[in-house]
């Protein structure tokens, strides 16, 4: 079955993982590495085949369903972050467990830059952000926003006038 990279008889998010782990490969790729069209590489054509056959439509991490994983999707995740139950894809729930947490952010980060139809990343010259670095940058930014909010309303001892 086209797009069934793990050979379990269905085309789903698990198969996408095989594709994402090996994107891009320019030569010598196999079906198990994400080469859906059998041309020896893992590229946007293989992604399109997976999208055409998957039971879970869309690229994991594409929260706004516009066929790419980009900054707009991160904003959707950020708005939904902390939702503990009842979350949907549009709120940032990439793993479909009805909450929005760091696992969903990791899925977004792993797929950042992928696009259906129009390849955002091509060949070996493409730069793919390292997921752990991306997650660290996001967490640092969130913590800095929290620290900034705490400082705005507080008086420091050094600000007090002594009599």
pLDDT at residue 8 in the model: 87
For the entire predicted model, the pTM comes to 0.52
Stretches where the chain sits below pLDDT 50 are 118-126
**109 shares its domain with 152:** yes
pLDDT, residue 11, reads: 82
Burial of 78 (0-12, 13-18, 19+ CB in 10 A): middle
SS3 57: coil
pLDDT of residue 117: 56
Looking at residue 105, what is its pLDDT?
Answer: 93
Same domain for 93 and 33 = no
> Does residue 28 sit in the same domain as residue 102?
no
Residue 70 domain-assigned (yes or no):
yes
Same domain, 49 and 91: no
Cα 86 versus chain centre, distance: 20
Residue with tokens 């830059």: 113
Closest listed residue to residue 109, CA positions, set 91, 86, 81, 136: 136
């Amino acid at each position: 079955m086209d797009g069934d990279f793990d050979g379990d008889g269905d085309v789903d998010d698990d198969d996408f993982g095989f594709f994402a782990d090996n994107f891009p490969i320019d030569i010598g790729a196999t079906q198990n590495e994400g080469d859906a069209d059998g041309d020896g590489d893992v590229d946007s054509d293989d992604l399109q085949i997976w999208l055409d056959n998957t039971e879970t439509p869309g690229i994991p991490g594409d929260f706004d369903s516009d066929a790419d994983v980009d900054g707009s999707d991160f904003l959707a995740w950020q708005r939904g972050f902390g939702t503990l139950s009842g979350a949907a894809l549009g709120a940032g729930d990439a793993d479909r467990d009805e909450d929005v947490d760091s696992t969903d952010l990791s899925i977004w980060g792993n797929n950042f830059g992928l696009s259906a139809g129009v390849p955002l990343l091509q060949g070996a010259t493409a730069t793919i952000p390292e997921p752990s670095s991306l997650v660290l940058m996001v967490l640092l930014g969130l913590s800095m926003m929290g620290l900034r909010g705490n400082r705005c309303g507080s008086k420091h001892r050094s600000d007090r006038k002594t009599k």
